[in-house]
Structure formats: C-alpha cells, structure tokens
Structure 1
Amino acid sequence: MTEKVGVLGKKSAQRSQRSGAERVVNAPLPTVYGEFRAIGYLDHDRGDEQVALVYGEIGTDDVLTRLHSECLTGDAFGSQHCECGDQLASALRAVVAEGRGVVVYLRGHEGRGIGLLAKLRAMALQAEGLDTVEANLALGLPVDARDYGVAAEILHDLGVRSVRLMSNNPRKREALVRHGIQVAEQVPLLIPPCENNITYLRTKRERLDHHLPHLDAVAHLS
C-alpha cells in the first residue's frame, strides 16, 4: 500500500514539474455561430485551463485569430460597462464568415489580469469617478497584468505561424511577435459604444493606446 502511494506521489510530482501548455482534449462544440472544435489546454505554469475555439481547416498562415481575455461580466452577463461580450460574439461570427479561424479564450485575464473581485472593486471606484487606470492603481494593482505567452504556445501547438489578429490593442500584437507568432495584419474589432461604456472606451484609447477611431463619431455621448 505504501509503495502504491509512493508511485502516485511520484506521478503527481512529475505532473507538477511540467511547464507550458498541454493539449488535453479536442471536442466538437456546436454553437449558435457555427460548429467549432473546442481544444482544451492546461497551463502548467499558472494552473489555468484554457480553450481554443477552432473553426474549419485553419492552415498555418494568415489565420484569422482573436485572443479574448476572460470577462465574466461582459461575456456571460452582458455588461455594458465594457464591450467584451460583443467583441467575443463578433469574433466568433467573423471566423465563421471567413470559413476558418481561431478564438483563444484566455482564462486568468479577468479585469486585465487582476481577477474578478478586484475588477468589481475597480468598477465600484469607477462609479465614484475614477477611470479604469486610476481605479487599478488606487487598489495597488497593475494597470494590465496579462501575459500572452500561453496564447502563443496554443497557436504554435495548432500549427499557426502567422495571424490576422482581431484586436484594437497594440500590446497583443507586440506580445505575439515577441513569442514567435507573426502578425500579418491587425484587424479592428470596433463595437458601437453606448452611454455606459463611452468613458471606459475613451480611457482605453487615451491611456492604454487602443486604436478606437470610431469614438470620434460619438462625441455627443457623455
């Protein structure tokens, strides 16, 4: 009995010593947008479970790709505080229209990497007048703690060498290039703003360098 426990302990230790993203499962995922494959990964470095939604035969070059940071409030609850839920839906529609593509859904990126409860605290401070950058700093947290290394590992595992990246964030492009994924094109993913998120979006443009030219057309929103 002791010997069996020892063997299991060694196997557990071996698993804990692994690093990087390990492909765990590939399952069909029918959605309202189309029939995807959900390829699940375990990030041994951070302990997060990640998933890539793959549509069609994606090939290796110029693959239409979205790196989507987890956002429970936007993706699941339809929050208008941000545009995340609409961006996710638009990205899924875009890869289906393209006939091939990948949406990498990045767990552990909630609130630009600070976590769900911290994000809610930051949102409470924003309701009192701080912007999204000021709120994070007031909580003693980084403005953006996200890392895209695991996303690059997933793309490498899928055989992707270059992407057409659906993003308004130049840092995502820089991160992928740094990790060996070429970005052939950065494809804007512009969602019409509303009164509830216009201040947040303007802060993203002015303080986080997001490319959001469409905001110029909605100067009337407060």
Structure 2
Amino acid sequence: MNNIDISKIATLPTKYGTFNIQAFKEGEKEHLAIFTNNLKEIDAPIVRVHSECLTGDALSSVKCDCGEQLAYAQELIAKEGGMIIYHRQEGRNIGLLNKVNAYALQDAGFDTVAANHQLGFKADERTYEIVEFILKHFDLKKVKLLTNNPAKIDSLPDIEIVERIPIQIIPNPHNENYLQVKKEQMGHLL
C-alpha cells in the first residue's frame, strides 16, 4: 500500500487494562492498532478487526451489537494478549451521514441491507487492505481472529488464521432483526 503514515506508539490505559496504540493514516481514514505489550511474544495472538461504529461504540446504541463486541474484545485481549484493529469504515463504509439516513429507512421498516440498497450502496462497502498492512507491519503471520464475519476471514489471504473465535452478544429487542439480517443475508456465523 502506498502513502500510509504511521504514528509513534503511545500508551493507552483503559478500564480493561493498559494497551499500546498506534495510528495508520490511509488517505482520509485514520485506523488504529490497539495492542498489548506481549503481542510479539504470542505465537498466534487474538486479533479483533473492529469496524468503526460511532453510534454503538461511543454513544451506546443498542440498535447493533458493535459497542458490546468492542468491549468484549478489549476485555478478552487485555487478559489474553493480542490486538484490536479499529477499522475506520463507519456504517459498513458508507459514512456517518449515510448511516444515519439508513437508520431513518430502518425506522420506516427497511432492514440494514435493504436500507443500504435504497441509498445506492451494496450491503457492505468495506475493504480490508489496510488490515493486512497493519498485521504485516507488526510481523504477525498467524492469528486467532475474533469475528463472526466470514468476509473478514476471507480478506486476509496472506495471514494464517489458526482459529476463529466467535463473538456472541445477547440480542435485545432493538437489535434482534439486525442480527438476524447479519446471519441470514450476510452470512455471519452467529
């Protein structure tokens, strides 16, 4: 990949434990690697590729399972060691404005996939080249991938995924349909 700016490494204390953090600027997108001190000592560290979700991650929305998945990943990785790649592709890479428009369509009865289609987007617009770049930057050749999304598994052809660790969140009345759509229409392993 060309023109990736990489920050220095800084310490990130969290309620789950202390991590290191490094930023990777790809065009206008700034992705993060959040990792434990023992990352290099683990043969196949746990890695979570977490797609940005401002509403779920920062605003505690229960329309999705994103915030809970991020919290689960932070807690697990703080204990076991590994990395979270905070993948800055909001709303399956349609952007925040379009995501809110998709929310409005969902309020009118469309599911998440149909709402994206109504706005002229594919069900999922994300790409993962930067993820593989970040893993290679840290010289990670083998990982245990914390995901339910087969697209994330398929997006890492040069990385050996020794195990897929499921990430199961208890549904609530606001996200049951969302989770069903992820399973039935997007092939998520729920």
Are 1:129 and 2:112 matched, yes or no?
Answer: no
* Structure 1 residue 72, shift from structure 2 partner: 0.3
Are 1:209 and 2:190 matched, yes or no?
Answer: no
Q: Does the 8 Å CA contact 1:21/1:154 hold for their aligned counterparts?
A: no
Are 1:101 and 2:82 matched, yes or no?
Answer: yes
**What are the equivalent positions in structure 2 for 1:48-87 lying under 5 Å apart?**
48-59=29-40, 61-87=43-69
**Residue type matched to 2:35 in 1?**
V
Residue 195 of structure 1 is matched in structure 2 by 173
* Structure 1 residue 21, shift from structure 2 partner: 3.1
* Structure 1 residue 176, shift from structure 2 partner: 1.1
Where relative contact order (Cα < 8 A, 6+ residues apart) is larger, the structure is 2
Pairwise CA RMSD of aligned residues? 1.2
Distance in 2 (CA, whole Å) between partners of 1:66 and 1:88 is 8
* Structure 1 residue 20, shift from structure 2 partner: 4.8
For residue 16 of structure 2, give the secondary structure of its aligned residue in structure 1: coil
Q: Does the 8 Å CA contact 1:62/1:162 hold for their aligned counterparts?
A: yes
Unaligned runs of 5+ in 1: 1-17, 213-222
In our comparison, the structure showing a higher alpha carbon Rg is: 1
Residue 11 of structure 2 is matched in structure 1 by 28
TM-score relative to the length of structure 1: 0.82
Are 1:160 and 2:140 matched, yes or no?
Answer: yes
For residue 134 of structure 1, give the secondary structure of its aligned residue in structure 2: helix
**Residue type matched to 1:62 in 2?**
A
Q: How many residues align?
A: 189
**Residue type matched to 2:53 in 1?**
C
Unaligned runs of 5+ in 2: none
Q: Does the 8 Å CA contact 1:20/1:150 hold for their aligned counterparts?
A: no
Q: Which structure dedicates a bigger proportion of its chain to helix?
A: 1
Distance in 2 (CA, whole Å) between partners of 1:77 and 1:64 is 26
Distance in 1 (CA, whole Å) between partners of 2:182 and 2:102 is 15
